[in-house]
């Protein structure tokens, strides 16, 4: 059986995640302890004890989810399960960069920590400047294809507009997440419902991620990336920015900046993964490596579920069934 690893992004976190693995897998424990050493954070306390309201801060959740995902990778390898290819959703792309060999483990920890800090600072600044009820954010549009959402909102993709809004997570044929100003999100809800959206759900997130409204964070991130070495991939690694496989370390480095302000092209990534896996001479499956089951659900909705299954791998119980 060939395996492709998928790594979740922010929103998958929960208090106590990966503690069952920490206590049962020597490799998972070693990974989390190393993560603590490099980051200077008590990752065990972060995973085990942190209240979900604090864990949801982007500077905390980015560290926690990446540590949890890479700990599960170590536990899977301990069991002899390794990937032929990797992809990560939003933040999860950094776990994918690590497992593919584009980033070494130490640099992955360092860059995820500083990325979370930069993004949290920008989100805090946005919140401080916004009037009550006027904070930019994100919303999920349900029941429309990404193409329809993009076409509907195209006239409003300008950061200078009070009602600026951008399609930012192209999740599935039935779900697209948009980022925008408070007025932009209201406008998006009204316009998308007019063309057939079933629901528009405002998300509890720290800021308008994957949109030009985060340009200040992308600019700050550039100088931090100059300290990091990006290698050519050792195995296939798919990119949110392009929806295709990463060709080189140089491309991955450029994408890491674009990643903050550009849409997550997940539906295209799933198509690229399915096309790549058609070359396998044996059966294949996807494993959602880390907390949650969101990516398994998106794979099912993509229509590719008939080609291969996607199984969650985020707890000891799930690991034992593989």
Residues designated as active site: 90, 210
Question: Sheet harboring 284-289: ordered strands across?
Answer: 236-238, 85-88, 2-7, 284-289, 310-313
Give residue 12's Cα distance to chain centre.
Answer: 9
Alpha carbon distance 270, 6 (integer Å): 10
CA distance 98 to 85: 12
φ/ψ of residue 123, rounded to 5: -60, -40
DSSP annotation of 116? H
- The Cα 173–Cα 156 span in angstroms is 22
**Reduced to 3 states, what is the DSSP secondary structure of residue 199?**
strand
CB of 172 closer than 8 Å to CB of 267: yes
Stretch (H or E) spanning 44: helix 43-49
Output the DSSP codes for 5-28: EEE--TT---TTTTHHHHHH-HHH
Question: Distance between CA atoms of 181 and 164, rounded to whole angstroms?
Answer: 6
> Concatenated DSSP letters for 225-243?
HTTS--PPPSSEEE-TTTS
Pull the structure tokens for residue 185.
């999100």
Say how far apart CA 322 and CA 313 lie, in whole Å. Answer: 8
Residues 6+ apart with CB under 8 A from 121: 217
């Amino acid at each position: 059986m060939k395996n492709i690893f998928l790594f979740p992004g922010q929103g998958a976190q929960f208090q106590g995640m990966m503690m069952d693995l920490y206590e049962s897998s020597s490799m998972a424990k070693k990974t989390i302890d190393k993560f603590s050493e490099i980051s200077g954070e008590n990752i065990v306390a972060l995973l085990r004890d942190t209240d979900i309201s604090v864990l949801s801060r982007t500077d905390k959740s980015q560290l926690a989810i990446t540590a949890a995902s890479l700990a599960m990778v170590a536990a899977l390898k301990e069991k002899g399960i390794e990937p032929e290819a990797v992809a990560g959703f939003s933040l999860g792309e950094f776990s994918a960069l690590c497992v593919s060999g584009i980033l070494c483990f130490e640099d992955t920890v360092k860059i995820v920590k500083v990325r979370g800090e930069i993004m949290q600072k920008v989100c805090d600044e946005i919140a401080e400047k916004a009037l009550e009820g006027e904070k930019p954010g994100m919303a999920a549009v349900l029941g429309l294809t990404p193409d329809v959402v993009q076409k509907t909102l195209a006239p409003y993709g300008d950061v200078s507009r009070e009602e600026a809004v951008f399609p930012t997570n192209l999740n599935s044929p039935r779900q697209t997440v948009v980022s925008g100003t408070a007025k932009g999100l209201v406008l998006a809800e009204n316009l998308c419902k007019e063309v057939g959206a079933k629901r528009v759900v405002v998300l509890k997130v720290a800021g308008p991620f994957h949109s030009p409204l985060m340009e200040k964070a992308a600019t700050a991130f550039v100088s931090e990336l100059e300290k990091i070495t990006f290698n050519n991939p050792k195995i296939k690694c798919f990119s949110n920015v392009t929806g295709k496989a990463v060709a080189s370390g140089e491309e991955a480095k450029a994408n890491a900046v674009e990643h903050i302000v550009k849409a997550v092209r997940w539906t295209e990534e799933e198509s690229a993964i399915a096309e790549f896996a058609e070359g396998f001479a044996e059966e294949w499956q996807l494993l959602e490596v880390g907390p949650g089951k969101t990516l398994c659900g998106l794979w099912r909705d993509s229509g590719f579920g008939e080609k291969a299954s996607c199984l969650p791998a985020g707890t000891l119980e799930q690991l034992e069934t593989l």
